[in-house]
Amino acid sequence: MGPERSEPLVIGGKEFHSRLIVGTGKYADPGVMVEAIRASGAEVVTVAVRRIDLDRSEGILHVLDPSEFFLLANTAGCFTADDAVRYARLARAAGFNEWIKLEVIGDVETLLPDTQATIEAARVLVGEGFRVMAYTNDDLVTALRLEDAGCVSVMPLASPIGSGLGVVNPYFIREIKRRLSVPVIVDAGVGTASDACITMEQGVDGILMNTALASADDPVAMARAMRYAVRAGRLAFMAGRMPVREIAVPSSPTRGMVG
Amino acid sequence: MGDTIRVELNGKERDVRAGLTVRGLLETLELEPGLVVVERNREIIARARYDEVAVREGDRLELVHFVGGGA
């Protein structure tokens, strides 16, 4: 891609070179998952904390090398602040890092976050020394409160988890980015490469996605597409787009036409 | 000997040998200690203490690990 200026993403004092974070759920085949993650170029991958199935122990670290990726544990599946705090502590005790992708779900049908509980849990976890990246909706006030609580990143959704609807409210995503100092990583809802590109063109710092890759017919090819889409969207944002006009403006000279 | 105690393991009642430490329990279950996090009666047991913490009758144990997940 030629001499592209490297512009690292810094979250909580740690530098990353990919703006794409990927999940590890829902893959039909663990080998395809690892190949897709590699094709995506992501450095940070999310994992969940669950009970060991004592009849059939198959943790993800049997297929995913923790020295190859930065493991970001989530609190997926938690519906209360207390549960999320408990899961975060369990994740930290796994011994990899003190980072947590905090999510507290408020509604089963839409998987929209319980923002009040999320803020509550964020305060507790920040107090315990966690670096909290908080999943939230596209509400500016909640995003501001999460930043105030000490989160190292705020992660508004593009649209509901697993929906693939793309970014439904670009205006609020831009507002959140404009008002926050911590990195804004859009989390959930991106379905295909154009969604990722449009999301990055809003100026956000990165995207987290899972289902868009895992549920594609060819996860590895989609991962490659997403890698370029995230970069393209970032580059386009940094380049500063032309103004939108409702009328045509010729791009060839109007003078010097043969008479 | 053959003494057993009853514990709750990941939500299910289970009889295990009496006198086991947390490490001994993990060995019995053929689990790699480095990949497991143990919570006993809602308290996380640090890995460095697996050798010294004993499993007792009625303990509620949660053995967890990382699995695939996104959001």
Q: What confidence tier does B52 reach under pLDDT thresholds 50, 70, 90?
A: very high
The 10s digit of each residue's pLDDT in A139-167 is 999 999 999 999 999 999 999 998 999 99
Q: How far is CA A12 from the centre of its chain?
A: 15
Q: What is the pTM of this model?
A: 0.92
Are B64 and A50 a contacting pair at CB < 8 A? yes
Question: CB-based contact (8 Å) between A209 and chain B?
Answer: yes
Task: Measure CA A20 to chain center.
Answer: 7
Contacts of B37 in chain A (CB under 8 A): 49, 90-91, 93-94
Six-digit token string for A48: 């969940």
Please choose, from the candidates A35, A46, A57, A108, the residue with its C-alpha nearest in 3D space to the C-alpha of residue A78.
A108
The answer to whether the CB of A74 falls within 8 A of the CB of A46 is yes
Q: What is the domain partition of chain A in residue ranges?
A: 9-239
pLDDT at B1 over 60: no
- Give dist(CA A169, CA A200) in Å, integer: 13
Please give, rounded to a whole number of angstroms, the shortest distance from the CA of B59 to a CA of chain A. 16
| CB-CB neighbors (< 8 A) of A211 in chain B | 70
ipTM of the shown complex: 0.92
**Domain residue limits, chain B:** 20-57
From A118, A181, A186, select the one nearest A147 (Cα to Cα). A181
Average pLDDT, chain B: 93
- Considering only alpha carbons, which residue of chain B is nearest residue A89? B44
Are residues A90 and B44, on separate chains, in Cβ contact within 8 Å?
yes
Q: Is the pLDDT of residue B24 over 70?
A: yes
User: Closest-CA residue in chain A for B37?
Assistant: A94
Give the CATH superfamily of A9-239.
Aldolase class I (3.20.20.70)
Give the integer Cα–Cα distance in Å for B30 and A197.
46
Q: Which residues of A touch B31 (CB under 8 A)?
A: 52, 57
Subunit contact B67:A47, Cβ cutoff 8 A? yes
Phi-psi category of residue B4: left, alpha or beta, with phi > 0 → left and psi -120 to 50 → alpha: beta
Q: Cβ(B52)–Cβ(B2) under 8 Å? A: no
A-chain residues near B66 (CB < 8 A): 47-49, 59-61, 71, 73, 91, 94
Which chain B residue is nearest to residue A87, measuring alpha carbons? B64
The predicted-structure confidence for B27-50, as pLDDT tens digits, reads as follows 999 998 999 999 999 999 999 999
Tally DSSP H helices, then E strands, for chain B: 1, 5
**Which portions of chain A are predicted below pLDDT 50?**
1
Give tens-digit pLDDT for A15-60.
999 999 999 999 989 999 999 999 999 999 999 999 998 877 678 8
